[in-house]
Amino acid sequence: MDQLTRLVNKRLHLGVCGSVACCRAADLLRAWRALDLHVSVTLTPGARQFVTPLLFAALGAAPVYTDMFTPGEDVFAHLEPGQHAHALVVAPASADALARLAHGAANDMLAAQALAFDGPLVLAPAMNPRMWAHPATQANAALLQERGAQIVRPGCGGTACGDQGEGRLAPLTDIFLAGLRALAPQDMAGKKVLVTLGPTREAWDGVRYWSNPSTGLMGAALAVCAWLRGAAVTAVCGPGVSYALPRDLDRRDVTNAREMHAVAAALWPGMDMGIFTAAVADFSPKPLGPHKFKKAAAPQGFSVDFTPNPDILQTLATARAPHQKVLGFAAETAPDMAALLPLARAKLARKNADLLAANRVNSADSGFAAPTNSLAVADATGREEIWPNQSKADAAWDLCTWLLRL
């Protein structure tokens, strides 16, 4: 979601505690600032043993807090994040910080700011694996979670001290997305959303397949967008989808169209929304055998017979319950956007969808593998729009908003 502009001017406060991992907090700051978020920072005394306030100020953090009651600083600086920030993220969060936050201590700037903060709180612990596993630390984390804090659990692996286990700072993508989720409206909370994304591969011999250039970026943007806004998301991913999705998003990997249909159909009765972005092959070749087909076997060429694949969008849209909403996609080749809109309208009716987005795949800045999309969008109430080229993250955000209002 590095091209999302729908959270511009939101305010986030970042707390940084003493840990070898605190140098990575600068990369978090850089990523959030790239989205034009306002980010302020507090460095604990332990953090300042590893990094300096100047580093964070140089990367755009404002203000950068250090100690309580610093001469010349606002005596009420410990209250400022609670008055202006929309979310508070502590990354890395040390064992000491977890203990102080859990028990309401206010003996340093960050602890006082957290105690006076009543918005969303995200904590990303980082420490020695034995410290993280200690019952006291686990109890503090559980208590904070019961009070509504989101814990971005540490990752597993080697730590700076040489120990192995759970305790190292979570992947930055997880913390980055958790911060965005804390800033986003939770207007999809309680919704269960199914997203299909990526291509399918239909084998015609033991090693070759029939496919298309889809990378799944549009579907990944929609899956992450729905997750940011509070939905419980299940993503059915075709082969080659390599985008980082949130850790608590339910990902199901499939290869061909029939597998995708079977998995999606099994999940569909428990969903509130279906977002079908996958570029599913309409036909499958009849395989020429389980082994590699040799050139010598057909020196003059050969033919491959194709059979229709299940129509996932139409099948599930037709079988839906009254409360279920369906967003479908159409990959089209059209001379211009005006010619795309009738195609979107026709597919909307044919597939029995609530909302249909058509994009041009014969344009370099739209469709397969492009970071941006130009869309013709139509819904079942008769509303139609042509959207100018924009990032797929922004298009996903606006499509989720439209689907929610149907």
For the chain, list the domains and their CATH numbers: 11-183 (3.40.50.1950), 192-405 (3.40.50.10300)
pLDDT at 314: 97
pLDDT at 100: 96
Checking if the pLDDT of 77 tops 90, the result is: no
* More confident position, 179 or 77: 179
Q: Residue 89, Cβ neighbours under 10 Å: how many?
A: 28
Contacts of 237 (CB under 8 A, 6+ apart): 197, 198, 216, 219, 251, 252, 253, 254
Six-digit token string for 166: 């759970």
Checking if the pLDDT of 75 tops 90, the result is: no
pLDDT over 90 percentage in the chain = 86
pLDDT at 68: 85
Q: Residue 211, Cβ neighbours under 10 Å: how many?
A: 18
Q: Residue 58, Cβ neighbours under 10 Å: how many?
A: 11
Give the pLDDT mean for 2-25.
94
Indicate the annotated binding residues.
282, 292, 310-313, 329, 347, 351
Six-digit token string for 223: 């899956």
pLDDT at 32: 97
Checking if the pLDDT of 72 tops 80, the result is: no
Indicate the annotated binding residues for CTP.
282, 292, 310-313, 329, 347, 351
Residue pair 254/213 in contact (Cβ under 8 Å)? The answer is no
| Omega before 335 within 30 of 0, i.e. cis | no
CA atoms within 13 A on the CB side of 302: 15
* More confident position, 296 or 381: 381
Does residue 400 carry a catalytic annotation?
Answer: no
At 191, the pLDDT band (50, 70, 90 cuts) reads: very high
pLDDT at 295: 87
Does the pTM surpass 0.85? The reply is yes
Tens-digit pLDDT profile for residues 282-327: 999 998 889 999 988 888 888 999 999 999 999 999 999 999 999 9
Give the pLDDT mean for 179-202.
98
Checking if the pLDDT of 393 tops 90, the result is: yes
- From the candidates 161, 225, 237, 400, which is the catalytic residue? 161
